[in-house]
């Protein structure tokens, strides 16, 4: 009897297990049927919606924390067609407030949403301002509360709706715009950075979008995922210095009648770019004007994207190489006869004159092409170009701005290199450079031989943590002793010629450069590139200023057009940077104010 009961229980257990298994299998089968999936998708859409949430774009600040690029709330205004009751009223109000075409707006508002293929929603404006939305709110409230005359129909804006979203904003207008770049919208929720910092740091600024399922149940709103904003960027750029430099450049272009210009202020001790002004400039709040502001192949930032033959400022590099290699000393003399034959060509001085016996400081002071050619020959082609590469002229500097370019360097052995190139390259012709390359390379002379990569970003702020960008030493092309010796020579050179680059109270080192501009027929035009590079205080430099004016009309000579721009910039710069005159600075440091550089 007991065995029969046990067998019955086992049978019942097995039966229920099989029934349960059959139920599970049937549930799995039903859930994977196409019809069931369609039903679940529809049901899910009624409970919520899957959407991609884009984080707020990170801000860009200057070195002192002043906002240069941020976000402001604007609105998308559109028509929910099934809700429209009075298309004429809606069109009149929207057209008046948003400055739209009334006929076109009425056409949109009159679309039958029930017609096959008709849209349910139409965007009228993606960038309505707060003031415009406030006007719409006032009108809407007036319509709702207006006392109507007998028989008058209450006007309604049903169907007109607005949704807030962020827009990239540049509160300083075109200030530093060639550094910042701009943000262009693909639609109202996302876009991309173009040029400058906006492009180079686009991924960090943009942050990481997240796919979010948003439930329609208001009780579950608190469960919405918060998407952290993109990283914010703190620049090395000082807003006050940048504004001053841009003004100096504008003034220089006006009186010199130059086609374009560039001024870079660079800290040779750590590579920080304190200011970078170039033309033309674009107000990034109106980025859609880009094509008209930069027609054709006009570069967005000449300082990093346009190469040119710099002329005699390059003689600083040639002299640095020769001194460092021991090919010459400051006391080495050269008899300048006014010409030098090399590779079947004759090299002449800028004035076609002969300057007689000169030491190496005199060769720099008088900017003698013939002397620098002789120096390059003493150094030898192989060593000359080894130094040129060590100074970084065969590659980009790596500055953290989008669009950097460099010109391929011709070297001995290349089928395009000729012996005469050694001569012309020694005084900055036949070799193309960017202003930022020159600033970095000559920065090594100012900074005891140490060359730092230029950069415009000082730190990043990610998830509430600030990450400092460390200076990058990219090379030591010359010895510290060489750098100090050459700096002393350039100080003497400026002071001896009573250059327009001098600033009273400050010891500065510097060099002019007047570069001829090549045409398809050779150097057949009188137009020039006028440049000047200088740094100070010469014994303990806190800045290097590089000036380039393209095709000035008032004079072709850099000593007349570029040197004064340097001086005017430095006079303002020392005030903004709080650098006292030499006598006060040396007394504060316990030095003898009468002592000279290097003694």
Whether 183 and 273 share a structural domain? no
Same domain, 496 and 392: yes
Domain boundary among 197, 213, 235: 235
Q: Do the domain assignments include residue 488?
A: yes
Q: Give counts: helices (H), strands (E), the chain.
A: 20, 24
Same domain? For 311 and 368 the reply is yes
Establish if 168 belongs to a structural domain.
yes
Confidence at residue 216, expressed as pLDDT on a 0 to 100 scale: 47
Provide DSSP, 474-526.
Answer: EE--S-HHHHHHHHHHHHHHHHHTT-TT-BTTB--EEEEEEEE--BTTBS--S
- For residues 211 and 311, state if they share a domain: no
Q: Give 144-187 pLDDT, tens digit per residue.
A: 999 888 888 999 999 999 988 888 999 999 999 999 999 998 76
- Rounded Cα gap, residues 246 and 240, in angstroms: 10
Co-location of 193 and 269 in the same domain: no
Is residue 252 one of the residues assigned to a domain?
yes
Q: Could you give the CA distance from residue 352 to residue 340 in angstroms, rounded to a whole number?
A: 11
Distance (Å) of CA 146 to CA 151, 161, 374, 422: 14, 20, 92, 86
- Read off the pLDDT of residues 55-84 as tens digits, 9 standing for 90 and up: 889 999 999 999 999 998 889 899 999 999
Residues 554, 247, 441, 318, Cα dihedral to 10°: 20
Domain assignment present for residue 153? The answer is: yes
Number of structural domains, the chain? 2
Q: Dihedral through CA 190, CA 196, CA 197, CA 203, nearest 10?
A: 40
Residues 208 and 260 reside in one and the same domain: no
In a domain, 431, yes or no: yes
pLDDT at 598: 30
Among the three residues 210, 235, 260, which one is the final residue of a domain in this structure?
235
CATH of the domain at 127: 3.90.1310.10
**What pLDDT does 191 receive?**
85
CA neighbor of 200 nearest in space, from 102, 105, 123, 304:
304
Domain end (from 217, 235, 253)? 235
Same domain, 348 and 199: no
Strand 60-61 vs strand 232-235: parallel, antiparallel, or unpaired? parallel
Residue 552 lies in a domain: yes
563 in the same domain as 502: yes
Q: Is residue 476 part of a domain?
A: yes
Q: What pTM was estimated for this model as a whole?
A: 0.84
Per-residue pLDDT of the chain in tens (599 residues, 90 and over written 9): 555 555 565 666 666 666 766 676 666 666 666 666 665 555 555 455 565 667 889 999 999 999 999 998 889 899 999 999 999 999 999 999 999 999 999 999 999 998 888 899 999 998 899 999 999 999 999 999 998 888 889 999 999 999 888 889 999 999 999 999 999 987 656 789 999 999 999 999 998 877 766 554 554 545 556 778 899 999 999 999 999 999 999 999 999 999 999 999 999 999 999 999 999 999 999 999 999 999 999 999 999 999 999 999 999 999 999 999 999 999 999 999 999 999 999 999 999 999 999 999 999 999 999 999 999 999 999 999 999 999 999 999 999 999 999 999 999 999 999 999 999 999 999 999 999 999 999 999 999 999 999 999 999 999 889 999 999 999 999 999 999 999 999 999 999 887 899 999 999 999 999 999 988 778 878 899 999 999 999 999 999 999 999 999 999 999 999 999 999 999 999 999 999 999 998 887 765 443 333 32
The answer to whether residue 43 is domain-embedded is no
Residues 121 and 201 in one domain: yes
* Token pair 């040197």: residue: 563
Q: What is the phi/psi pair of residue 520, to 5°?
A: -70, -15
Q: Do 582 and 563 lie in a common domain?
A: yes
User: Pairing between strand 465-468 and 473-475?
Assistant: unpaired
Are residues 222 and 311 located together in one domain of the fold? no
Do 566 and 497 reside in the same domain of the chain?
A: yes
CATH code (residue 518):
3.40.710.10
Locus of tokens 């910042």: 180
Q: How high is the pLDDT of residue 585? A: 86
Identify the domain containing residue 554 by its residue range.
239-283+300-588
């Amino acid at each position: 009897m007991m065995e029969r009961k046990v067998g019955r229980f086992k049978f019942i257990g097995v039966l229920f297990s099989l029934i349960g298994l059959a139920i599970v299998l049937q549930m799995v089968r039903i859930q994977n049927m196409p019809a069931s999936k369609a039903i679940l998708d529809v049901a899910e859409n009624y409970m919520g919606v899957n959407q991609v949430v884009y984080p707020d774009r990170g801000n860009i600040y200057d070195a002192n924390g002043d906002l240069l690029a941020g976000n402001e709330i604007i609105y998308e205004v559109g028509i929910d067609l099934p809700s429209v009751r009075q298309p004429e009223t809606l069109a009149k109000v929207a057209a008046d407030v948003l400055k739209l075409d009334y006929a076109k707006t009425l056409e949109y508002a009159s679309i039958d949403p029930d017609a096959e293929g008709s849209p349910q929603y139409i965007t009228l404006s993606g960038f309505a301002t707060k003031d415009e939305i406030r006007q719409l709110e006032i009108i809407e409230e007036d319509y709702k509360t207006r006392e109507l005359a007998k028989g008058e129909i209450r006007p309604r804006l049903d169907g007109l709706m607005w949704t807030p979203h962020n827009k990239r904003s540049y509160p300083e207008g075109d200030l530093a715009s060639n550094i910042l770049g701009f943000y262009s919208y693909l639609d109202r929720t996302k876009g991309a950075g173009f040029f400058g910092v906006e492009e180079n740091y686009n991924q960090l600024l943009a942050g990481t979008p997240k796919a979010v399922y948003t439930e329609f149940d208001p009780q579950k709103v608190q469960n919405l995922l918060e998407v952290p904003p993109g990283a914010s960027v703190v620049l090395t750029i000082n807003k006050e210095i940048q504004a001053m430099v841009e003004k100096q450049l504008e003034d220089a272009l006006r009186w010199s009648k130059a086609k374009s210009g560039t001024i870079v202020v660079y800290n040779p001790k750590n590579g920080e770019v304190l200011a970078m002004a170039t033309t033309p400039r674009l107000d990034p709040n109106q980025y859609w004007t880009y094509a008209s502001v930069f027609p054709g192949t006009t570069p967005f930032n000449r300082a990093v994207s346009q190469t040119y033959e710099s002329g005699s400022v390059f003689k600083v590099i040639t002299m640095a190489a020769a001194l460092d290699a021991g090919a010459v000393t400051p006391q080495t003399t050269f008899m300048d006869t006014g010409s030098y034959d090399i590779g079947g060509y004759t090299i002449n001085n800028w004035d076609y004159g002969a300057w007689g016996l000169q030491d190496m400081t005199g060769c720099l002071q008088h900017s003698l092409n013939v002397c620098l050619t002789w120096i390059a020959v003493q150094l030898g082609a192989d060593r000359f170009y080894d130094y040129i590469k060590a100074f970084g002229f065969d590659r980009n500097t790596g500055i953290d701005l989008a669009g950097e370019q460099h010109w391929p360097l011709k070297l001995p052995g290349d089928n395009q290199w000729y012996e005469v190139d050694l001569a012309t390259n020694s005084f900055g012709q036949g070799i193309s450079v960017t202003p930022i390359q020159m600033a970095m390379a000559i920065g090594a002379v100012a900074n005891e031989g140490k060359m730092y990569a230029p950069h415009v970003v000082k730190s990043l702020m990610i998830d509430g943590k600030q990450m400092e960008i460390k200076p990058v030493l990219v090379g030591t092309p010359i010895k510290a002793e060489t750098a100090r010796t050459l700096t002393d020579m350039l100080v003497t050179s400026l002071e001896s010629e009573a250059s327009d680059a001098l600033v009273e109270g400050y010891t500065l080192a510097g060099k002019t450069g007047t570069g001829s501009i090549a045409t398809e027929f050779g150097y057949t035009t009188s137009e020039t590139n006028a440049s000047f590079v200088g740094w100070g205080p010469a014994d303990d430099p806190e800045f290097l200023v590089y000036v380039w004016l393209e095709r000035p009309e008032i004079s072709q000579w850099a000593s007349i057009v570029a040197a004064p721009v340097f001086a005017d910039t430095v006079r303002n710069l020392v005030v903004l940077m709080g650098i006292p005159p030499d006598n006060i600075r040396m007394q504060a440091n316990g030095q003898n104010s009468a002592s000279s550089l290097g003694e």
